[in-house]
Amino acid sequence: MAPIRVLVVDDSVVIRRLVSDLLQEDPDIEVVGTAVNGRAALHKVESLKPDLITMDIEMPEMNGIEAVRALRASGCTSPIIMFSTLTEQGAVATLDALAAGATDYVAKPANVGSVHRSMELVRESLIPRIKSLVPRTFLRPSAVVPTPRTLTSPRPSLATRTGSEGYRLLVIGSSTGGPEALHTLFTSLPLLPLPIAVVQHMPPVFTRQFAARLDRASAWEVTEVEHDQLVGPGQAAIAPGNYHLELVSTSRGFVAKLSQGPQENYCRPAVDVLFRSAAEAAGGAVLGVVLTGMGQDGERGADLITQRGGSVIAQDQATSVVWGMPGAVTNAGLAELVLPLPQIAPELVRRLARPSRIAVPEAVEVAR
């Protein structure tokens, strides 16, 4: 199988060399060229036709955001991974790049103590993304995709209820490709009489800027949620970077609880943590949505939601940047519907505007 052909774009000769060297260490990846800025990248892409591009943001002559716009306008469909800094300015620029057509991003390590450790962190973040965004059938055991788990948990019986006894909570999980998918979903979704909680795999600072963007673009009151914050109808709570988000049912409604417990699925925040808490807090009155993303985060939480009689919708493969998370849920038989992204908002409105089926109350043991 031919290796994945990558173009590295950065104005720093040191970074170009370091990134090129770490990528070349992987036999499944070939660095076919480098470019010193966005303008040079346009010419290199035309001649080299790489499978994927890594792109710095701050560069002379033509920065990364301008380069992404120009590449997409020229018809280039290769995935573009941005290198960003863990700052407010870096977060804003990265979200601008994603809106312009970038596929994903990798945060530059900060305060890690050594160049070697910095490169290790970049390798751990970058190489799995490259292989997810440019699928190949590699023969080495480390790249074999595991067979999906067969879930045999008993499902509770169902009944139909109406009005306020229908769905009470909407929970959403996403990762790679999620920022733009969530933007599409929220800008298509009118205010509904229930709260939304979202886990998008993002580092600190980025989630705050991302929540602010969704708040400005949609009818919803979207915030990076705080510990003990009440999340009510018409409000959408985004989990902060590096914090798990759980929801607890109280006499006042759903209250957010944040923690820095162990990572799950190598993630914090983790979709499984949110979905598990939603199943415990609202039982069969939960509607879960799993959007585009790498890995399997959300599969076990989706299992708990369906055990309690709730429902799960997954984004389809054709409209997902990476069909890892929604694919895992679908292959495990947990998705009631698998829909293209543009059809998810209308389906949510349809379900939440009519009587919903939820579980008849009965004891269900939920894993903690």
Name the least confident of 59-73, 107-121, 212-226, 231-245: 107-121
Which residue is catalytic, options 10, 104, 132, 201? 201
- Which CATH number does 4-135 carry? 3.40.50.2300
Which residue is catalytic, options 297, 303, 320, 356? 297
Helix, strand, or coil (residue 239): coil
Say if CB 36 and CB 109 are below 8 A apart.
no
Of the candidates 69, 47, 52, 46, the one whose C-alpha atom is nearest the C-alpha of residue 9 is 52
Amino acid residing at 152? T
Of the candidates 82, 95, 91, the one whose C-alpha atom is nearest the C-alpha of residue 206 is 91
Which residue is catalytic, options 174, 175, 218, 356? 175
For the chain, which residues make up each domain, given as ranges? Answer: 4-135, 158-359
* pLDDT, tens digit, 9 for 90 and up, residues 102-120: 999 998 876 666 777 777 8
> Has 20 been annotated as catalytic?
no
pTM score of the predicted model: 0.88
Which is higher by pLDDT, 368 or 22? Answer: 22
* CA–CA–CA angle 104, 110, 131 (5° rounding): 30
Name the least confident of 77-81, 158-162, 250-254, 294-298: 158-162
- Which CATH number does 158-359 carry? 3.40.50.180
* pLDDT, tens digit, 9 for 90 and up, residues 226-258: 999 999 999 999 999 999 999 999 999 999 999
> Has 227 been annotated as catalytic?
no
Of the candidates 89, 3, 15, 80, the one whose C-alpha atom is nearest the C-alpha of residue 41 is 80
Q: Please tell me if the domain spanning 4-135 has the same topology as the one spanning 158-359.
A: yes
> Has 244 been annotated as catalytic?
no
The phi, psi pair for 280, rounded to 5°, reads -75, -35
Give the model's confidence band at 360: pLDDT under 50 very low, under 70 low, under 90 confident, else very high: very low
The phi, psi pair for 10, rounded to 5°, reads -165, 140
